[in-house]
Amino acid sequence: MTTTTAPVPAPGTAPGNEDAALATPSLARRTLRVFTGNKLALTGVVLLALLLAFSYLGPLLYDTEQVHTDLSQANLSPGTDGHLLGTTDLGYDMVGRLMVAGRTSLEIGLAAGLLATLLGTVYGAVSGYFGGWVDAALMRITDAALAIPAMFLLVVVAAIITPSKGVLVLIIAAVAWLSPARLVRGEALSLRDREYVQAMRMMGGGGARAVVKHIVPNAVGTVIVNCTFQIADAILYVSYLAFLGLSIPPPSADWGSMLSAGITYTQNGYWWLIFPPGIAIVLVVAAFNFIGDGLRDAFDVRLRK
């Protein structure tokens, strides 16, 4: 007579949830399969990896002077005196300048996008879960802020305060959190009536536990997808402000300020001052948008099936 041993639940798994625990790896594999099946999403990952390597590992292989100006080397054409892409109007090597500017643009964009997503997620989850007058008051604030053009607010604040990396992150996040707040609020309105949330409340759980343990984790798909778009938008905002002359002071640089400086020499035919930073901005924004589209498909239940 043979005996059958029942499977032992994974540590931390409540009785009756063994099937859910076993299904989790399969769900992750299906999600990954949908994402990797999106060629544009993979292209975005490759582009982002190349841009990160170029900005952070490139200076280790291609060392250039990016602090002191040398006007005798200004506006050299590509290939002159060993400068692969020529030099800027201040004599900086163009390739090295793109690396320095890339770090600034990526750091500000990533930090501002993540901060905006965090603020919007918490704000929207609280608004949607509690509802009633709390939701009405919080959403009226959001609607009032959305009625003011974001670029207007950015230009006004950046003109008053001396721009720096930290300041630009706070300024951009202060106007970018509105979109994720509305998205998460919609998710929270549907999630707060689910059975597991109601059961948690009947057992004495408070609103903070519901938001942290149930609302936000179950809206993570929407949050992650929106975060990629927020980062892309933040990088564009950095470029917009720099193009208007509201960038961080030299010797720091970003792709937007490089593009703004190059536009001055358009009629001189100095194309290498314009095309490299412009192409870099297009590539990084496209990469994050492609990744966001792939994540949106990956978290779509219909496509996973």
Greatest mean pLDDT among 222-226, 245-249, 289-293 lies in: 289-293
**CA quadruple 186, 187, 188, 190: dihedral positive or negative?**
positive
Which of 106, 97, 103 lies closest to 66 in space, CA to CA? Answer: 97
Residue 224 burial by Cβ neighbours in a 10 Å radius (0-12, 13-18, 19+): middle
78 and 98 Cβ atoms separated by less than 8 Å: no
Q: What is the pLDDT of residues 65-118, one digit of tens each?
A: 888 888 888 888 888 877 888 888 888 889 889 999 999 999 999 999 999 999
**CA quadruple 186, 189, 192, 194: dihedral positive or negative?**
negative
Q: Identity (one letter) of the amino acid at 63?
A: D
DSSP 161: S
265 and 273 Cβ atoms separated by less than 8 Å: yes
Helices (H), 192-300: 195-202, 207-210, 216-218, 220-243, 255-263, 275-298
DSSP 87: B
Q: Residue 284: pLDDT band by 50, 70, 90 thresholds? A: very high
Which of the pair, 284 or 10, is modelled with greater confidence?
Answer: 284
Q: Identity (one letter) of the amino acid at 223?
A: V
Residue holding tokens 């179950």?
A: 218
* Residue 259 reports pLDDT greater than 90: no
pTM: 0.80
Q: Identity (one letter) of the amino acid at 38?
A: N
Q: Which token pair is 276?
A: 């490299």
Q: What region, left, alpha or beta, does residue 269 occupy, with left being phi > 0 and alpha being psi -120 to 50 degrees? A: left
Lowest mean pLDDT among 53-67, 86-100, 255-269: 255-269
pLDDT at 1: 44
Alpha carbons 169 and 165: distance in angstroms, whole number: 6
Alpha carbons 169 and 190: distance in angstroms, whole number: 32
Q: Is 81 helix (H, G, I), strand (E, B) or coil?
A: helix
Q: Which token pair is 253?
A: 């640089």
What is the distance in angstroms between the CA of the first residue and the CA of the last residue of the chain? Answer: 41
Mean of the per-residue pLDDT values for the chain?
80
Percent of the residues in the chain that have a pLDDT greater than 90, as a whole number: 14
DSSP 93: B
Residue 149 burial by Cβ neighbours in a 10 Å radius (0-12, 13-18, 19+): exposed
E-strand spans in the chain?
none
